[in-house]
Structure 1
């Protein structure tokens, strides 16, 4: 009769296995588990013996999981995460205890809304934390996976395996123009926009090779022109303040801070256009109190900003 591994195996080894499968590095795994590297190596040897598989092999970058280990990690993760959730239920995260640095990669379309307001919020609720906001790059997902970045905020992209997406908010498209622009209404159709060049904000990894507004206009049989593209929102603002170009953005744009500009709602096939903003973080942190708290803080700040902008629009 085959040995029942569930009863014969030290289940702590499974936690070591899961951390190793996430880090693919014995030093990083040891740091997360607060043990020595030799202890990690000993645990790995026991697992190899009991499971009759190498599990991980050395490669220049660290370790590589065998096909058996990859499948085992995939199957084990939801069960061990469930155990973690049960054990940590009711334990609250204390932001006053946060004294480390938190690095957040933010897409340009969100950064204009989030930068100052998130800093001011953190100064109140987590005064001993160092907040580091960096621009979202094509390498940001890799940096999140390598724990070089704590969390990211961007439009919907196809992340690497092991990256978790969580919806932050739905945004409504806006067209930003100068105050004395020929377009004067509160809404605008794609046909009305066609004569004016687009000044587009690039979100790395999302629209590097295309301009979303142009694609939407082309889908309506129009021939849009793209006059300017950059990752820097302030460069686009400078362009639209001095030309008849328009900037496709969203209700995240802090229009109240720019008295020379107006926000118009574009209608695509007669309806307002929406998009989604997501938080990106390593799947191993899915039930980590810090990450869950960070996501909630980002959601709260964005909600406050968009509500403030809606009130401003009503007054004007």
Structure 2
């Protein structure tokens, strides 16, 4: 009699187990696996029989993992992730034949600046790929962890241990105002900016509950007021165009597309801007040729935009 549970198990069932563990929902697991719900139910039945454990129990919100399932997930995940990484590492990337969907989540600061140029660069090299650019949200890190989103581009955020963050470019702080704004100089001080209300960009997961520049000003003994906040860049730009508010941004801002706006430098002796743009992806994809190609391409597009904005 063969008592080796490993030899008796279809390894595809372990992948189903991991997806089900992450989703705790039969329908969502079936969608991620591209199979029917009855097929997921059948796989779970086999897993329960094999491990002699329920693995998941029904609760009002969906499913809940048993203690055995928690331990099983912790034990097998590193091994399956490592196996996937090794297999992907040996895949030769043929961009002309690449026809998969590439879902990339962009923070507002990147979405407004690079959507068009990024689309052009990606489709030029991989014409058969389907590009999906989504706005960064509070669920994006979880979507990357679960494999729904391949790659994210944002500031360096606190993220789950399963994700890896890699620096792409370093940014410098700028203030965006309308043409004809009372601030006429090309370089301004924080004290001069503090006289005007802030139109603050909300970057989910980074500054949901605070305004970074306002905190900097307070630390320097300056009082400032936030006049408007939004995740939508066009709403912020529209407000700036019709008021004396200013928009804190960076040297990534594509002024050539907005002739009615001006980009002001902030005296560097007063403002140390240490933010960088990062690519965030699942650690299992660290050797994935598609992910590596995308990260390098996004870095190149970002660098070209910064160079174009250089005085």
Q: Check if 1:41 corresponds to 2:33.
A: no
Deviation at 1:148, TM superposition (A): 4.9
Matched, 1:101 2:101: yes
Q: 1:279 to 1:66 in 2, by over 3 A?
A: farther
Distance 1:306 1:66, change over 3 A: farther
Per the TM alignment, residue 218 of structure 1 is displaced from its structure 2 partner at its CA by 1.0
Q: Which residue of structure 1 aligns with residue 118 of structure 2?
A: 118
Q: CA separation in 1, counterparts of 2:283 and 2:88?
A: 17
Stretch deviating more after TM superposition (113-122 or 178-187): 178-187
- Backbone CA RMSD of aligned residues: 3.6
Contact 1:113 1:253 in 2 (8 A): yes
In the alignment, which residue of structure 2 is the partner of 1:225?
225
- Extract unaligned runs of 5+ from structure 1: none
Within 1, Cα distance between the matches of 2:32 and 2:74? Answer: 18
Task: State the match for 2:264 in structure 1.
Answer: 264
1:174 paired residue number: 174
Residue 131 of structure 2 corresponds to which residue in structure 1? 131
Rate the CA distance shift 1:109–1:247 in 2: closer, same or farther, 3 A: same
Equivalent residue number for residue 191 of structure 2:
191
1:86 aligns with 2:89: no
User: 1:297 maps to which residue?
Assistant: 297
CA gap of 1:262–1:148, structure 2 versus 1, over 3 A, is same
**What do residues 5-48 of structure 1 show as CA deviations (whole Å, max 9, x unaligned)?**
7987759365565455445456357549xxx5477336513541
Contact 1:20 1:29 in 2 (8 A): no
Cα separation, 1, equivalents of 2:137 and 2:223: 30
The change in CA–CA distance for 1:68 and 1:251 in structure 2 (over 3 A counts) is farther
Distance 1:181 1:4, change over 3 A: farther
* Cα drift, residue 294 of structure 1: 2.9
Distance 1:73 1:293, change over 3 A: farther
Q: Tell me the CA shift for residue 179 of structure 1.
A: 4.2
Structure 2: gaps spanning 5 or more residues: none
Per-residue deviation, 1:107: 1.9
Change over 3 Å in CA distance of 1:298–1:68 after alignment to 2 = farther
Distance 1:172 1:11, change over 3 A: farther
Matched residue, 2:30:
27
SS in 2 for 1:214: helix
1:32-71 equivalence runs, <5 A: 37=40, 40-41=43-44, 43-45=46-48, 47-49=50-52, 53-59=53-59, 63-71=63-71
Q: Residues of 2 paired with 1:57 and 1:145: CA distance?
A: 23
How far, CA to CA, are the matches of 2:154 and 2:288 in structure 1? 20
What are the within-5 Å matches in structure 2 for residues 236-247 of structure 1? Answer: 236-247=236-247
Q: Secondary structure at the match of 1:103?
A: strand
Superimposed CA distance per residue, residues 58-104 of structure 1 (whole angstroms, 9 cap, x where no aligned partner)? 44565433334334433443344333333443423223233243333
Q: Which moved more, 1:181-190 or 1:121-130?
A: 181-190
TM-score, normalised with respect to structure 2:
0.78
The alpha carbon displacement at 1:113 in A equals 1.4
What TM-score, normalized by structure 1, do the two folds share?
0.77
State the alpha-carbon separation in 1 of the partners of residues 195 and 105 from structure 2.
35
